[in-house]
Amino acid sequence: MTIYLDASASTKIDNEVLIEMRPFIEEEYGNAGSMHTSGLKAAHALNLSRKKIKEILNVDEVIFTSSGTESINLALKGYALKNKSKGNHIITTKIEHHAVLDTLEYLEKNGFEITYLDVEENGIINPKKIKEAIKENTILISVMHANNEIGTIQPIKEISKIAKGNNIIFHTDACQAGNSESLKDLDVDMLSLNGSKIYGPKGIGILCKKNSIRLEPLIHGGGQENKLRSGTENIPNIIGLAKALDIAQNNIGEYKKLSTLRDYFIQELLKIENTILNGDKNNRLPNNVNITFLNVEGEAILLMLDEKGIQASSGSACTSNSLDPSHVILALGMPYEAAHGSIRFTLTKDTTKEDINYVLKEIPEIIKKLRGISPVNLTLEEIKNV
Amino acid sequence: MYDVQSKDGKEWFYTDEVKDHFFNPKNLLKTREEAEQCAKQASGIGEEGSPACGDLMKMWIKVKDNKIIECKWQTFGCASAIASTSMFSEMVKGMKIEKALAIKPQDISKELGGLPARKFHCSVLADKALRAAVNDHYKKTNQLDKIKEDKVKIIDKILKITDHDIEEAVLEGVRTFEELQKRTKIGVQDKTCIPEAEQLLRFYLEKYFNKKQ
């Protein structure tokens, strides 16, 4: 038995999506740039998909890329490099995905000045802080719509207003938001999104932008995507992303019902002593549960869960390439001691109460076992005083 | 040794040996009560690491005729830390103290059929905890002359970089002097320390990875 609770890492492709993609994998393999019937069919599918996405999101332009990460790179580097005559200051938060943080770090090394803002203890940015951080040379603000680790949802519309009022371009990384948040009337200048989090294919992302925004391309070549992203268009994945986004954005109400199951899960997990819920209790993705189990190490929990058929994820240093624990959990003001035992469960749209009950049956024993062998015995009060 | 994201496409990044020791650890004190009980009879108790770093290892040893007859432990650590300590505690049982202290992390890793490169530092905790437990035993039995502490020595006099920093850098993946300098800035200002730093780098590479530069 497998209970997959890692939807924020990757989702299963929807059957309807697969059906639409299939002919373009198996039969229609033409290049959208070719002057013959096969090419025209591909070009037609490409145009239809683009049109569909533009309508769903109500945006001017859609650029297809290979991933959310590439979209974010194009948005941040592409804008900064093209517009450096306007200024060199960029504002972001400390809880962004590494696709944003590492890209900005790169820009920092190349003459840009970056402000990384703290979030509140609940994992949400106070828009006031953004207002206060704006300087004369600020050209860009990038804030994620929903956080990938703790699921907190950021006040995008408010930030957008602030950006507009100050004539600053605003980009949002909406990779985690596509299932539960309406992205149609966000009115942001740039938005990044990918297929693999919304029950679509992997290896496909989009960057949406307003017509007036000028970007420097990162990939040069055949001049596809209005010269902003060269490379033969990945037609099956483009079709898949358009369909997946269509389904996701039209079923937000249904998806949000997952929050009932999420709240039940959180409530039961918190009954285990010395556990902490990371991120805001209510203002979070309907499928996100992020819990710290004090005195145990996240990777050990993950492996024991996996042995029981339960697949989750951890902000533990030991599961990532870096030896530092999650920057997101640390940004909540949590001490290092507490950041090592955080586990993220992200429900899929097919997760049932039976699945959750099974996890709830197994997890106390795993925690008890690992705490038994742990020489560390910190309590919630001690953690708060660290 | 192979890496987690490695080229050989192995499905599980830990070997069966690691998994076995992780799920069925040997010589482990399974509850706090057991640990308290064990403390009463132990010849020496040692601790290494800190919970803030995500790794804390505690070890209880029983010594008879200069031999380790029991090695019990507890850990707040990841799967590699659990598995390598379990293996280590089996390896040292019945060994003379000096011999046990000479076990290198790569010996443990070898017994486990290899650890992912970046998990290697987890196995270092076990031998350091043993060193602390042995010192505790020497203290308790008044053999103070035998106590060996890890003395920290400053190598780069301007940036205050120690031999310990070089050791850490090696354990976390540094293999060449260029990498070491990029990471620690050692010798950038205090150029007189470069020969000694290079020598230490070679020493730790050899100690942990049997690599000769």
Nearest-CA distance B55 → chain A (Å): 8
Which of A299, A301, A365 is most worth mutating to test chain B (most B CB atoms within 10 A of its CB)? A299
pLDDT bin (cut points 50, 70, 90) of residue B119 is confident
> Does residue B112 sit in the same domain as residue B42?
yes
Note whether residue A3 is domain-resident.
Answer: no
CB B133 within 8 A of CB B46: yes
Using the beta-carbon criterion (under 8 Å), do A376 and B56 form an inter-chain contact?
Answer: yes
pLDDT bin (cut points 50, 70, 90) of residue B104 is confident
> Does residue B196 sit in the same domain as residue B141?
no
> Does residue A99 sit in the same domain as residue A193?
yes
Q: Which residues of A are catalytic?
A: 318
> Does residue B142 sit in the same domain as residue B159?
no
Q: How many domains does chain B have?
A: 2
Q: Which of A219, A250, A281 is the last residue of a domain?
A: A250
CA distance A317 to A314: 8
CB B72 within 8 A of CB B38: yes
Residue of A nearest to B117 (CA): A321
> Does residue B125 sit in the same domain as residue B161?
no
List the single residue in A300, A321, A373 with the smallest CB-CB distance to B78: A300
Residue A379's closest CA among A275, A299, A278? A275
List the single residue in B51, B78, B119 with the smallest CB-CB distance to A337: B51
Catalytic one of B38, B71, B122, B193: B122
Q: What pLDDT score does B6 carry?
A: 39
Q: Which of B146, B162, B186 is the last residue of a domain?
A: B146
Q: Which residues of A touch B51 (CB under 8 A)?
A: 295, 336-337, 340, 376, 378
List the single residue in B30, B119, B172 with the smallest CB-CB distance to A372: B30
Query: How many C-beta atoms surround the C-beta of residue B189 within 10 A?
Result: 11
Note whether residue B5 is domain-resident.
Answer: no
Q: What is the pLDDT along chain A (386 residues), one digit of tens a residue?
A: 899 999 999 999 999 999 999 999 999 999 999 999 999 999 999 999 999 999 999 999 999 999 999 999 999 999 999 999 999 999 999 999 999 999 999 999 999 999 999 999 999 999 999 999 999 999 999 999 999 999 999 999 999 999 999 999 999 999 999 999 999 989 899 999 999 999 999 999 999 999 999 999 999 999 999 999 999 999 999 999 999 999 999 999 999 999 999 999 999 999 999 999 999 999 999 999 999 999 998 989 999 999 999 999 987 656 555 556 789 998 998 888 888 889 999 999 999 999 999 999 999 999 999 999 999 888 888 887 76
**Residue B4 above 50 pLDDT?**
no
Q: Which residues of A touch B80 (CB under 8 A)?
A: 318
> Does residue B172 sit in the same domain as residue B107?
no
**What number is the average pLDDT over the span B28-57?**
88
The C-alpha torsion from A258 through A262 and A263 to A269, rounded to 10°, is 160
Note whether residue A7 is domain-resident.
Answer: no
Sheet holding B67-76, edge to edge: B44-50, B55-64, B67-76
Residue B137's closest CA among B128, B147, B129, B124? B147
Q: Which of B101, B120, B146 is the last residue of a domain?
A: B146
Q: What pLDDT score does B11 carry?
A: 47
Q: Which domain holds residue B170?
A: 154-209
Q: Which domain holds residue A315?
A: 257-385
Q: Which CATH number belongs to the domain containing residue B201 in this structure?
A: 1.10.10.1100
> Does residue B116 sit in the same domain as residue B93?
yes
Residue of A nearest to B72 (CA): A373
pLDDT digits (tens, 9 = 90+) for B156-193: 888 888 888 888 888 878 888 988 988 888 988 888 88
Q: How many domains does chain A have?
A: 2
Q: What pLDDT score does B2 carry?
A: 39
Query: 């995500």: which residue's tokens?
Result: B54
Q: Is B39 on the interface with A (CB under 8 A)?
A: no
> Does residue A246 sit in the same domain as residue A268?
no
